Amino acid sequence: MSIKSFLRTLRLKIGKQILDKKTPLASIIFPPKSILFLRHDGKIGDYVVSSFIFREIKKQAPNTKIGVVCSKKNAYLFEQNPYIDQLYFVKTKDIRDYIRCSKQLSKEQYDVLIDPTVTLRNRDLLFLRMINAKNYIGYQKENYQLFNFNIPAQEIHFSEIYKQTLELIGFKQISTAYDVPYTEKAKQAIQYFLVENHLESYIAVNFFGAGSARRFNDKSMKSLLNHLTNNTKNIVLLTFPEVTEKLKMIAKEYKNVFIYEKTETVFDTIELIRNASLTISPDTAIVHIAAGFNKPLIAFYSQDQENFYHWQPNNKAQTYILRFNKSVNELNFSDIQSDWLK
């Protein structure tokens, strides 16, 4: 263990001893008057996988207030959701803002607080403690006194973990079908782009995931495109502003590779996936968006089995998985069979 890792572990241990107070064990009265979700991590894929929980709560308990703690950076996801009653904004690295927000939330007296994160930093623990909810439900929090309800570690998809959380509260017959967010602006813009380029059928391809292991290098991008263009007609590259110029240069090398250059937000990407006949992507939010639309999918995952059973595509459509050890750039894309692309 490095000195940095040792000091971090020591800080967390000391912080836990000081901040972890016991919440009285009590039964949750169904339906609860209010439920608070902590979702300030900013991850799009996590939001998509958990999106059904808000719908399912309101289906069975329409008068239950749903609050969500988020950052202003990821608020655009939750603002689109009609089932959420109130958003609370927090600056994720500002301890003073954590305290400000927790004081506001403590006045709300939430019946249930749900925190799906695995690792708690000291500021997170302080934040949770100061909210003073009546009940705390966590995942893998059996070693924390603050959480009077815990979902234990299991080799299941994270959507099932969210489902178990709702069942613990008292909800039944829960559908885990995702509610993929969208905007009419993006929907119309992408429809115009597809009509303008005569793209009635195409494969959506994403080259970028979180971390270097899930990001294609130039050689791998061209290797995949060379294989695909020999076996299919049209391809649309999924982009974001920081990589659009780079992908434009690559697309110019192929007759049937397109890119929506005006891509600004994930909502543009969502519409391109919605209209695609197939999506190809490393393990990232793109995979979960495609699964939300039940789209055929080719996905690239590492050999990390814990990550795989938590975050594999929860897809009803045909799905093919290629696994890599250290990097997606290890893959031989000729392993993608032509019948997978139909």
Exposed, middle or buried: residue 17 (CB in 10 Å: 0-12, 13-18, 19+)? exposed
Q: In what order do the strands lie in the sheet with 203-205?
A: 257-259, 235-237, 203-205, 278-282, 297-302, 319-324
pLDDT number for residue 10:
66
Residues 122 and 148 placed together within one structural domain of the fold: yes
Strand 65-70 and strand 86-89: the pairing is: parallel
Kindly provide the b/e burial profile for residues 116-130, where b requires at least 16 CB atoms within 10 angstroms of the residue's own CB. Answer: bbeebebbbbbbbbe
Exposed, middle or buried: residue 335 (CB in 10 Å: 0-12, 13-18, 19+)? exposed
Cα(43)–Cα(177) distance, integer angstroms: 19
Of 119, 142, 169, the residue at which a domain comes to its end is 169
pLDDT number for residue 12:
64
Q: Give the total number of structural domains in the chain.
A: 2
Asked if residue 94 belongs to a domain, the reply is yes
Residues 199 and 296 placed together within one structural domain of the fold: yes
Residues 150 and 299 placed together within one structural domain of the fold: no
Q: What is the pLDDT along the chain (342 residues), one digit of tens a residue?
A: 677 676 667 676 766 777 778 887 777 989 999 999 998 876 899 999 999 999 999 999 999 999 999 998 889 999 989 999 999 999 888 889 999 999 999 999 999 999 988 878 888 899 999 999 999 999 999 999 999 999 998 899 999 999 999 999 999 999 999 999 999 999 999 999 999 999 999 999 999 999 999 999 999 999 999 999 987 789 999 999 999 999 999 999 999 999 999 999 999 999 999 999 999 999 999 999 999 999 999 999 999 999 999 999 999 999 999 999 999 999 999 999 999 998
Hey, what amino acid is at 263? T
Asked if residue 174 belongs to a domain, the reply is no
Task: Give the list of residues 6+ apart from residue 303 with CB closer than 8 angstroms, or none.
Answer: 323, 324, 325
Question: What predicted TM-score, i.e. pTM, was given to this entire model?
Answer: 0.93
- The residue range of the domain holding 138 is 13-169
Of 169, 203, 218, the residue at which a domain comes to its end is 169
Residues 190 and 334 placed together within one structural domain of the fold: yes
We report the CATH number of the domain holding residue 284 as 3.40.50.2000
Closest CA relative to residue 255, chosen from 184, 197, 317, 332: 197
